[in-house]
Structure 1
């Protein structure tokens, strides 16, 4: 890379300098999932406050699903893929299933997919005899069913949409599961331990909606620290 941050690309045995911004824009233009790309570092305090308000007033997952569809940035703050993050809402898996969201993060080595299921924020996690509640059991079962469908239809799921597939490159039944359910204030210590075990047994991350808020705040704090460090370096160079 040159001093002015141009990227050198080889074409027809000659070197051509192109602005890195142009390279990224070209990649985005050719991305079949470009409509679902999420700029993960564009989080705002106002959005976090708005989410906290709607979370307090929601009696079911439906208003939260609609809000997250309009603000998908909340579903990628925990992801680490440095080559992009995408959120696809209501992606139909054949005629049988429609996950609330399918998220994608891209690394230098490939793709990592997550199947996201939302349940109500107003739930009891376990029964009096320590069995998973109806909502918790349903959330886990949904993700397991999606994985079974992907196992049986992997080629169709991976095939490009121009070839009548779903366009979910490299997805398979090993996709991570993410179940978002309930509130932290309703979790006992015993609940938390049992949920961790359930998540481990089924390879599903199980979190409350408060976790989404916490991850968004963490990212915002990181961005603000980075901005302050950059500003301090600029001040020192003057």
Structure 2
């Protein structure tokens, strides 16, 4: 699924052709460059800068332009999303809120839980793992170590993390954990197929198993107590490369973009 209404892989106007030509002239300069001359930074219009960043990225329609949040009222957005997670009866209502209005900055805020994505960051909604599974979101990010991937599962927000009657995780938590374990088993046998089918391999991207991460988003803070927090920590410890975060964490991450 693409993030944008338009196709950023294509040049659709003479103005965009001129912008691209200017960027290519800059990009072909040998030796040290003055980044102030780079049209991706220097152009006065936001949409022109965004076009250049997206168009010249590996995945133009899934590139997260890092200045996009600066155009939003993030305080209002975080309050609206908090209202959604407190009213939603299931995860589909939360997903609909994000996808209908293309509020991709919400799942993209999961990048703040990791130390990559500052060189390049991409978001892929509903990425398939073969014909058996589909992740809610895949985050592909680059750091100095190379590329890493986070596969994300959304579950219900309006459920307690733990059932006090049995001292075990709620069904939604268990469902999300089971889903991630299924993904892990599938990727152990099909990592190369995944890299090819997702288009990553065609772009020269190799992601070792050690840099494939998993994130389950479930429950809310007001539905978690100390025992729940301890159980969550234990589960994450036992499941390598896995994080479990509450929906409130996404609300926090959205607001962190405010300078």
* Smaller-chain TM-score bracket: 0.7 to 0.9
Supply the distance in 1 between the matched residues of 2:229 and 2:167 (Cα, whole angstroms): 12
Q: Are the counterparts in 2 of residues 40 and 76 from structure 1 also a CA contact under 8 Å? A: no
State how 1:84-95 maps to structure 2 within 5 Å.
84-95=120-131
Q: Does 2:73 match 1:36?
A: no
Three-state SS of the structure 2 residue aligned to 1:36 is coil
Q: Are the counterparts in 1 of residues 84 and 94 from structure 2 also a CA contact under 8 Å? A: yes
Which whole-Å deviations, capped at 9, do the CAs of 1:40-94 have from their partners, x for residues lacking one? 4433223212212222221111121123332121223314422121111111111
Report deviation, 1:26.
5.8
Three-state SS of the structure 2 residue aligned to 1:144 is helix
Q: Does 2:147 match 1:111?
A: yes
Three-state SS of the structure 1 residue aligned to 2:68 is coil
Task: Choose between structure 1 and 2 for higher RCO, CA contacts under 8 A separated by at least 6 residues.
Answer: 2
Corresponding residue to 2:75 among 22, 45, 54 = 45
Distance 1:10 1:205, change over 3 A: same
Three-state SS of the structure 2 residue aligned to 1:178 is strand
Report deviation, 1:211.
0.6
TM-score normalised to structure 1 length: 0.77
Three-state SS of the structure 1 residue aligned to 2:168 is coil
Aligned to 1:193: 230
Which whole-Å deviations, capped at 9, do the CAs of 1:103-139 have from their partners, x for residues lacking one? 1221133111101001101113223221222211110
Supply the distance in 1 between the matched residues of 2:34 and 2:228 (Cα, whole angstroms): 57
Q: CA RMSD in A?
A: 2.6
Distance 1:210 1:40, change over 3 A: farther
Aligned to 1:218: 256
Q: Are the counterparts in 1 of residues 162 and 224 from structure 2 also a CA contact under 8 Å? A: no
Aligned to 1:148: 185
Distance 1:125 1:15, change over 3 A: closer
Corresponding residue to 2:38 among 2, 17, 20 = 20
Three-state SS of the structure 1 residue aligned to 2:95 is helix
Q: Which has the larger radius of gyration?
A: 1
Supply the distance in 1 between the matched residues of 2:67 and 2:230 (Cα, whole angstroms): 32
Three-state SS of the structure 2 residue aligned to 1:59 is coil
Bigger mean CA deviation after superposition, 37-46 or 198-207? 37-46
Supply the distance in 2 between the matched residues of 1:198 and 1:179 (Cα, whole angstroms): 11
Which whole-Å deviations, capped at 9, do the CAs of 1:184-210 have from their partners, x for residues lacking one? 001011111111111121131111100
Bigger mean CA deviation after superposition, 16-25 or 34-43? 16-25
Q: What number of residue pairs does the alignment pair up?
A: 209
Q: Are the counterparts in 1 of residues 133 and 183 from structure 2 also a CA contact under 8 Å? A: yes
What residue ranges of structure 2 are gaps of 5+ in the alignment?
1-24, 42-48
Supply the distance in 1 between the matched residues of 2:26 and 2:152 (Cα, whole angstroms): 36
Q: Are the counterparts in 1 of residues 53 and 65 from structure 2 also a CA contact under 8 Å? A: no
TM-score normalised to structure 2 length: 0.71
What residue ranges of structure 1 are gaps of 5+ in the alignment?
1-5, 160-164, 224-238
Bigger mean CA deviation after superposition, 31-40 or 15-24? 15-24
Report deviation, 1:38.
1.7
Corresponding residue to 1:184 among 221, 236, 259 = 221
